[in-house]
Structure 1
């Protein structure tokens, strides 16, 4: 049976904003990773691992996985903590 992970990818550290951070990704797990004896790289004969599907919502990704009978693991995004600071706080302590 196929296994997959559904998640929202982390933003690029070179970005400062949160735009384009609302896509849910369905990514397949590798069934049988092997090590290439010549180069030592990890390889697999499973081509589904190269496939990443994008969805606009979590529900669409879950429904797709259920419809295609894909066993999935859902990774919920963490809430971002924002601390409101004032410039004057630098001088009050």
Structure 2
């Protein structure tokens, strides 16, 4: 039985807006550890399911999909957003 992780995307450091942060993502957990390639040294494996990420508009839709397809899943809670209130004058203190 495949296991999956469901989480909500967070804003990365290069993003100024919050585009696509309200979507929920289902991605599969790896079953075998990654091993280094003998030629290049890059980490990799034979599992192609690690490359699959499915996006859903709601958490319920992601859960319904995982249950319908028979995947064991766990939900990673979204981190709390912290507002950093700062004035322009704070740059000159």
TM-score (norm 2): 0.79
| Residue of structure 1 equivalent to 2:5 | 5
Distance 1:54 1:16, change over 3 A: same
TM-score (norm 1): 0.79
Cα contact 1:34–1:43 (8 A) shared by 2:
yes
> C-alpha displacement at 1:19, in angstroms?
3.0
Distance 1:68 1:53 in 2: 13
| Residue of structure 2 equivalent to 1:52 | 53
Aligned length: 90
Q: Is 1:75 equivalent to 2:66 in the alignment?
A: no
C-alpha RMSD of matched pairs (Å): 2.1
Distance 1:85 1:35, change over 3 A: closer
Which is greater in Rg? 1
